[in-house]
């Protein structure tokens, strides 16, 4: 009995102290702060992307705050975890809007969570900027005035790779992608574009391993058996690392041209197991940005990120950073935190992203950010992991859907 | 949709890739099944031990990637996780043997979340990748095709472990008590046998097997958060098809799933996953206690 009494007392003290810290934080917050909400997926298998996004956003917020803040107010970044679950994402977004009164939201990692959060943003009329999740459905048929994107969406990404690959002589393609929204919808964009430009191209098979598959031997055997000229894949992250390592001893990469999301994270994880000659695409590899759109600002960001985290910035960090700055610039332009005014300011706005100057389309709110594509190769400057050579950039506005097409899609969706 | 050429080497490759998956599944499912058979607890945290095993192996290997550190990891990491599993049994499981099933599920589910966060705090969210160990880096050639020699090494583990478990359960004194505990734990308790100790041993072996599975898979794939839940679901399907609590069942279940998976993907890629769950449903309808399982008394 006595023991539980002591435990209870300790518990009470703990609770009270927690309340007190909350109150003190709140009273500080009430002064001159504007809150920016971030619904991220920082646990589960996409945690690496979410954590990098939070780091990138933090750097942007800190830069703005050291320069004196926005309209005289400091930005406070509130991060909530959605854990890849759409219902959790929607709930956290609602709470950030209703209870924390955030001025705007930054988007999640998962496309499924994005669709859910987007509904909440639309309902409350709060600006939401997506920087990692990129299903085109969120911006085309399910798009609305309040959702913005600084990440190339699946349509841009799939079409850009389709356009790039159309220059090669390959005719028989296979598709290998993760079995969920992102995998299917991006592969469809690739298929549409490459067939448009090259009517002789044939898709001879599609394979959809589940997200998080560990053993790809059955898929590798199926590809070798079908003998395609090339494989378009949108496997990403750990799945792509696993596939690459397992396919290598089968000699798959000598027999088949392989195209996949070989981004900075994957190449670092692969280390010396990387395969030269495969084609990679992604949304912001630092080595390509430094060559194609060099800027002092990018170098400053790069060094700061290396300093703060000890890591190379991935595109996830770069795009989250861009999202914060896009919002901040719109606030300065609107001279207000009011969501309606900021939304109007964002539409058609030009801004300097870390990837170079871009603009946001006034109708569908997608920034004309594009896809980086190149060939995986070793570089003497990076002894520990492979990077790319011969890279190109396909800007978003060259391959995205026209305004008429999107209007049609939206009309169909409302019917 | 895809035209399939059924050469002999294609069939051999498909069988071998099916067996690779089967072996990995068996190692994990055997532990899950063993724990359920004796403790009557569905240990949802089984996948967490698998993940922790993989991360510990990765830490050992990345420290010295050139030497024989993978073999060192495979020799010690399962024991580290086994000790950890033993502590978990003492601290958590022991308190809930007599609770209702829902309490047990909630407690082991809580362990998944807690251990997942602990792993993230220690190792971070990066994908970690370790190379195939020497001398298993080169493929072996099978007629006109290649097959990774590491996969053959993976396949070899399942019979080894099956043999070990058979020996443990049928040929040792503790194994005899384990079998007695499976058939009637209360009676055993009444006979003055320290049943808690048997539960501890069995749970520790379960954690050991899970970790071993995680270490064996680690050079093939990437090591990252989320691998705990991914393996848990598949191992669970295997254990249910074979019959929870039966090794022979886990072995048969994993071979069925492994082969269905590899042939299914080549023949009808869109249906491969559906086939697996269809198999589970069929077994559950015809024999709800699994192929080799025994009816709950």
Tell me what ipTM this predicted complex has. Answer: 0.75
Nearest Cα neighbor of A140 from A153, A125, A122, A158 is: A153
Q: B26 at the A interface (CB within 8 A)? A: no
Quick: pLDDT tens for A133-150.
Answer: 999 999 988 999 999 999
Do A269 and B128 lie within an 8 Å CB cutoff? yes
pLDDT greater at residue B98 or residue A201: A201
Q: A47 at the B interface (CB within 8 A)? A: yes
Do A270 and B129 lie within an 8 Å CB cutoff? yes
Rounded to whole angstroms, the Cα distance separating A331 from A37 reads 15
Q: What percent of chain A has pLDDT over 70?
A: 93
Band (pLDDT 50/70/90 cuts) for residue A31 is low
Interface mutation target, options A53, A206, A210, A222, chain B, most CBs of B under 10 Å: A222
Answer yes or no: is pLDDT of A25 > 50: no
pLDDT number for residue A3: 47
Answer yes or no: is pLDDT of A20 > 60: no
Quick: pLDDT tens for A38-72.
Answer: 999 888 778 889 999 999 999 999 999 999 999 99
Q: Which residues contact A206 (CB under 8 A, 6 or more apart)?
A: A174, A175, A176, A177, A187, B1, B269, B270
Chain B positions in Cβ-Cβ contact with residue A264 (cut-off 8 Å): none
Do A224 and B226 lie within an 8 Å CB cutoff? no
pTM of the model: 0.82
Q: B12 at the A interface (CB within 8 A)? A: no
Q: B125 at the A interface (CB within 8 A)? A: yes
pLDDT number for residue B297: 52
Band (pLDDT 50/70/90 cuts) for residue B131 is confident
Chain A positions in Cβ-Cβ contact with residue B127 (cut-off 8 Å): 48, 237-238, 241, 265-266, 269
Band (pLDDT 50/70/90 cuts) for residue A6 is low
Band (pLDDT 50/70/90 cuts) for residue A301 is very high
Answer yes or no: is pLDDT of B4 > 80: no
pLDDT number for residue B178: 86
Rounded to whole angstroms, the Cα distance separating A170 from A203 reads 11
Chain A to chain B, count of Cβ pairs less than 8 Å apart? 153
CB burial readout A153-192, b (16+ within 10 A) else e: bbbbbbbbbbbbbeeeebebbbbbbbbebbbbbbbbbbbe
Interface mutation target, options B10, B27, B66, B127, chain A, most CBs of A under 10 Å: B127
Chain A positions in Cβ-Cβ contact with residue B24 (cut-off 8 Å): 214-215
Q: What percent of chain A has pLDDT over 90?
A: 75
pLDDT number for residue B3: 57
pLDDT number for residue A7: 52
Question: What is the average pLDDT value for chain B, to the nearest integer?
Answer: 87
Burial grade of B262 (CB within 10 A; 0-12, 13-18, 19 or more): buried
Band (pLDDT 50/70/90 cuts) for residue B245 is confident
Contact at 8 Å (CB) between B123 and B59? yes
The residue in chain A having the minimum alpha-carbon distance to the alpha carbon of residue B221 is: A242
pLDDT number for residue B296: 62
Contact at 8 Å (CB) between B246 and B32? no
B:40-79 residues touching chain A, CB 8 A cutoff: none
Burial grade of A32 (CB within 10 A; 0-12, 13-18, 19 or more): exposed
């Amino acid at each position: 009995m006595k023991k539980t009494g002591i435990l209870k007392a300790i518990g009470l003290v703990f609770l009270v102290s927690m309340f007190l810290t909350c109150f003190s934080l709140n009273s500080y917050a009430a002064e001159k702060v504007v809150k920016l909400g971030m619904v991220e997926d920082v646990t589960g298998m996409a945690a690496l992307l979410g954590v990098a996004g939070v780091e990138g956003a933090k750097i942007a917020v800190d830069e703005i705050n050291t320069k004196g803040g926005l309209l005289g107010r400091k930005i406070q970044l509130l991060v909530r975890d959605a854990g890849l679950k759409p219902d959790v994402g929607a709930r956290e977004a609602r709470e950030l809007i209703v209870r924390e009164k955030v001025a705007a939201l930054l988007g999640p990692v998962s496309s499924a969570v994005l669709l859910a959060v987007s509904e909440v943003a639309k309902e409350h009329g709060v600006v939401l900027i997506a920087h990692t999740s990129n299903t085109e459905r969120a911006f085309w048929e399910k798009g609305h005035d309040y959702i913005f994107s600084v990440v190339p969406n699946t349509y841009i990404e799939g079409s850009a790779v389709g356009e790039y690959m159309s220059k090669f002589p390959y005719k028989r393609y296979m598709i290998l992608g993760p079995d969920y929204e992102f995998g299917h919808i991006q592969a469809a964009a690739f298929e549409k574009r490459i067939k448009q430009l090259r009517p002789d191209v044939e898709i001879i098979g599609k394979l959809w391993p589940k997200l998080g598959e560990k053993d790809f031997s059955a898929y590798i055997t199926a590809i070798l058996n079908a003998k395609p000229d090339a494989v378009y894949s949108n496997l990403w992250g750990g799945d792509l690392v696993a596939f690459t390592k397992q396919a290598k001893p089968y000699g798959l990469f000598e027999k088949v041209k392989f195209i996949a999301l070989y981004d900075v994270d994957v190449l670092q994880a692969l280390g010396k197991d990387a395969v030269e000659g495969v084609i990679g695409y992604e949304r912001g590899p630092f080595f390509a940005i430094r060559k194609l759109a060099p800027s002092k600002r990018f170098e400053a960001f790069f060094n700061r990120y290396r300093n703060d985290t000890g890591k190379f910035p991935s595109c996830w960090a770069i795009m989250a950073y861009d999202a914060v700055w896009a919002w901040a610039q719109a606030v300065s332009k609107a001279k207000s935190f009011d969501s309606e005014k900021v939304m109007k300011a964002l539409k058609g706005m030009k801004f300097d992203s870390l990837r170079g100057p871009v603009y946001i389309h006034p109708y569908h709110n997608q920034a004309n950010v594009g896809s980086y594509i190149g060939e995986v190769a070793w570089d003497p400057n990076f002894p520990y992991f492979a990077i790319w050579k011969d890279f190109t950039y396909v800007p978003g506005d060259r391959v995205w859907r026209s305004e008429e097409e999107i209007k049609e899609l939206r009309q169909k969706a409302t019917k | 949709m895809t035209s399939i050429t059924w050469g002999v080497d294609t069939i051999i490759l498909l069988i071998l890739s099916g067996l690779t998956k089967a072996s990995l599944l068996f190692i994990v499912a055997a532990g899950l099944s063993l724990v359920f058979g004796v403790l009557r607890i569905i240990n949802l945290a089984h996948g967490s031990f698998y993940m922790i095993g993989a991360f510990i192996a990765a830490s050992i290997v990345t420290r010295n990637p050139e030497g024989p550190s993978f073999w060192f990891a495979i020799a010690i990491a399962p024991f580290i996780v086994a000790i950890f599993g033993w502590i978990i049994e003492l601290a958590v499981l022991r308190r809930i043997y007599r609770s209702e099933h829902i309490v047990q599920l909630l407690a082991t589910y809580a362990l998944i979340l807690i251990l997942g966060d602990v792993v993230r705090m220690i190792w971070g969210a990066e994908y970690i990748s370790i190379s195939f160990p020497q001398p298993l880096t080169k493929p072996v050639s099978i007629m006109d095709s290649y097959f990774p020699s590491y996969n053959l090494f993976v396949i070899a583990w399942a019979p080894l472990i099956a043999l070990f478990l058979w020996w443990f359960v049928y040929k040792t004194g503790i194994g005899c008590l384990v079998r007695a505990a499976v058939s009637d734990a209360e009676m055993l308790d009444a006979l003055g046998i320290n049943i808690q100790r048997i539960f501890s041993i069995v749970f520790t072996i379960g954690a050991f097997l899970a970790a071993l599975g995680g270490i064996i898979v680690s050079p093939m794939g990437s090591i990252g958060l989320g691998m705990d839940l991914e393996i848990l679901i598949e191992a669970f399907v295997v254990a249910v098809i074979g019959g929870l609590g039966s090794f022979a069942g886990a072995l048969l279940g994993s071979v069925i799933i492994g082969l269905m998976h590899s042939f299914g993907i080549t023949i009808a890629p869109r249906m491969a996953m559906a086939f697996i769950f269809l198999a589970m449903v069929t077994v559950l309808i015809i024999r709800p206690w699994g192929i080799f399982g025994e009816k709950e008394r």
